[in-house]
Structure 1
């Protein structure tokens, strides 16, 4: 009974904070085949997806975006639904407003290109570097992928090594393999 009361109070707090413009970052978690993902959204759109260290990610968002953060899952219903559809094989492209404030400069150029890599396809780090306008910036592409604030949504898992190897991934190599197998790339 006490858990239900706390849940109702939290829900009411989230609604009131949203209504009064006091909620800068809403978050929730979703269970997926590759683990529990933290989703965070600003008024502009989805700002962060994280595989682990959720408390650290929230603390970093408090520093970089705003300390007015609240577990307010309703704001993230669409993102959670689209992720469920993706992992269920019913979605190939995400249609969500994104807040890319956590990516700057060349990293942002790389992230802007990644959604152009079609579902079920891959590109090498070198191909992405060329597409982003800096053919010699292969390592910088790797860094951009490693620091992608929106993994899965912005498909950095579709970037592989020139020799066909998977390469590193923020969620781990086994997660990258799982995502590519899901997409049959």
Structure 2
């Protein structure tokens, strides 16, 4: 595993890649291996995240290496990637989409275990009625990401 830490408007983000692609994006400077490394996927991820935070990128194009997780969690993570930029779904919406309408709480657990935050956009999942609940990076970070996407979506619509 190769890793690096990048600065962002929401604080340090730790990125890790394996031979198949980006396998981790976490909040804070987390040491994931013996040393930081240069890697084409790490470089691309850092560049795309910079463009995302600048409001210039609405869709990531990176090879992902999602390992682990139960079949349900992997289904949730796949569904998260289908939530359009600038939009939100409730935990219940995601539960219905993965075929288990009564599993809203389990969707919350799966979001919490999402190994590739921001890029696999668990921040786009909110509580019933749009309530801001739960997020591994904290509610202020979730709000920041949602506001960034809403602002970018509106600015793009008015061009």
Q: Is the TM-score greater than 0.5?
A: yes
Alpha carbons 1:103, 1:149 under 8 Å: kept? no
SS in structure 2 at match of 1:117: coil
Report matched runs for 1:50-89 at 5 Å.
50-52=26-28, 54-55=30-31, 58=32, 69-75=34-40, 76-89=42-55
C-alpha distance after superposition, 1:147-184 (max 9, x if no partner): 11000000000000012111110100000000000001
C-alpha RMSD of the superposition: 1.4
How far apart, CA to CA, are the structure 2 residues paired with 1:73 and 1:33?
A: 22
Report matched runs for 1:78-117 at 5 Å.
78-117=44-83
TM-score (norm 2): 0.90
Alpha carbons 1:102, 1:149 under 8 Å: kept? no
Structure 1, unmatched stretches of 5+, are: 1-24, 63-68
SS in structure 2 at match of 1:169: coil
For the pair shown, which has the larger CA radius of gyration, 1 or 2?
Answer: 1
Alignment match of 1:127 (pick from 85, 93, 114): 93
Structure 2, unmatched stretches of 5+, are: 152-159
Q: Which has the higher helix share?
A: 1
How far apart, CA to CA, are the structure 2 residues paired with 1:85 and 1:53?
A: 20
Alpha carbons 2:13, 2:29 under 8 Å: kept? no
Shift of 1:53: 5.8
Number of residue pairs aligned between Structure 1 and Structure 2: 150
Report matched runs for 1:128-167 at 5 Å.
128-167=94-133
| Alignment partner, residue 25 of structure 2 | 49
- 4+ residue runs over 3 A deviation: none
